[in-house]
Amino acid sequence: MLTASIKTTRTKILGTACVVLAAVIAVILFFAGESGKNAAESISLRVTNNEERTGYIASKGFKTAEEPSLVEEILLPEEFDEILSEYNEIQKESGFDLSPYLGKKVKKYVYPIEGKEEVFATLYVYENKVIAADIASHTEDWQRPIDGAGNMG
């Protein structure tokens, strides 16, 4: 018969518990980091064509015309002025932030919202990534983050 004995001390037990706890914390942090990446990726949505742009707007609850009424390339200023700063605050409500794109050329796509006269969805895209989006009425003079169909007016 073969027998073995292991001498345990309070220090060995405490050390083993610390190693196990460190491993559990590492696993939790790893998966928390992954979910954080997924959240960031959902905000920095990639759109490479018109179908993906209108699909993004539709995912927010708005039905648009098939083609944009306006497409233009604009140069964002090097720093925020009062108007752009206010607009960026609107964007932050939807999880966007224009700060990293100051001084960059971006594409602006404006889509009429079906069934709503003079209401438009606007997307700002940098390197095929939505960096800002809003819903606005040009006649009623309001502008909101693109966070749902109930958010008009």
Per-residue pLDDT of the chain (153 residues; tens, 9 = 90+): 666 566 778 777 766 665 665 665 665 766 665 444 443 344 448 999 999 999 999 999 999 999 999 999 999 999 999 999 999 999 998 899 999 999 999 999 999 999 888 999 999 999 999 999 999 998 898 999 998 545 555
> Facing residues of 145 across strands?
134
For 43, other C-beta atoms within 10 Å of its C-beta total 13
Distances (CA, A) of 15 to 9, 19, 39, 69, 76: 10, 6, 36, 67, 56
Give the pLDDT confidence score for residue 11 in this predicted structure.
75
CA–CA separation, 99 and 9 (whole Å): 56
